[in-house]
Amino acid sequence: MTAEAPRGAVIVGVHPDQCVAVVLEAARLADALERPLVCAYVTEDSYLTEWDRADVREEASLHPADVASAEEGIARELAAAIATALAPSGGRPQPAWTLRILAGDPGKALARIGAELDARLLVVGTRGRGVEPALEEWLGGSVAAHLARDQVRPVVVVPTHGVIGERLAPPR
């Protein structure tokens, strides 16, 4: 994991229970584009950040001052899982990557960090199939759809339905 994220990075949205394939695809794209990788985790308890004034909201979203201890634990687990997923293997070196903790609505927070870092592109995964993912999408909408509709930079959506494999961290 590197200390800073240079401009032009590839940003991938990460969360507990996300398929590792999303991070691996983002790392492949970052490598092909010769860009660093930024893994962005939007804390689950921070949606109300969107109710703040625009100037306060942007700062709080991109650089949250108060992160609950449970969220810090999740971020540590995600960082360990990402490091394991991106570990060197088969002659492939570990890419340079950073984990950023964000706040607010996931689609809007990812768009804001994309603007802050002048991201080359944003990468997100699809939700799984079943009743719970369908209900979440119906209530909150799809992060991928929000980004694709409102974003000025390219958005890559990695399909994960039907992918049987490792998850970044157990769901909470």
Contact 38, 12 (CB under 8 A): yes
Give yes or no for a contact between 21 and 169, defined as CB atoms under 8 angstroms apart.
no
Sheet holding 37-42, edge to edge: 97-102, 37-42, 10-14, 121-125, 155-158
Is residue 172 included in any domain, yes or no? no
What's the structural domain count of the chain? 1
Task: Please give the pLDDT value at position 105.
Answer: 83
Other beta carbons less than 10 A from residue 159's beta carbon: 13
Closest among 99, 135, 95 to 15, alpha carbons compared: 99
- Residue 167 counted as domain residue: no
3-state secondary structure of 165: coil
Residue 65 covered by a domain: yes
What is the model's pTM?
0.79
Q: Is residue 108 assigned to a domain?
A: yes
- Does 165 fall in a domain? no
Using pLDDT thresholds of 50, 70 and 90, give the confidence band for residue 150.
confident
- pLDDT tens for residues 17-57? 888 999 999 999 999 999 999 999 988 765 555 556 666 55
Q: Is residue 4 part of a domain?
A: no
pLDDT of 2 > 50? The answer is no
pLDDT at residue 12 tops 90: yes
Per-residue model confidence (pLDDT) at position 134: 46
- Find the Cα–Cα–Cα–Cα dihedral 20, 80, 117, 148, rounded to 10°: 20
So what's the pLDDT on residue 144? 78
Higher model confidence: residue 73 or residue 164? 73
Q: Is the pLDDT of residue 6 over 80?
A: no
Nearest to 119 by CA among 55, 39, 25, 43: 39
Owning domain of residue 132: 10-158
At residue 46, the pLDDT reads 59
Q: Would you say residue 164 lies in a domain?
A: no
pLDDT at 119 exceeding the cut of 90: yes
CATH number at residue 63: 3.40.50.620
Q: Distance (Å, rounded) from C-alpha 19 to C-alpha 25?
A: 11
Q: Is residue 168 part of a domain?
A: no
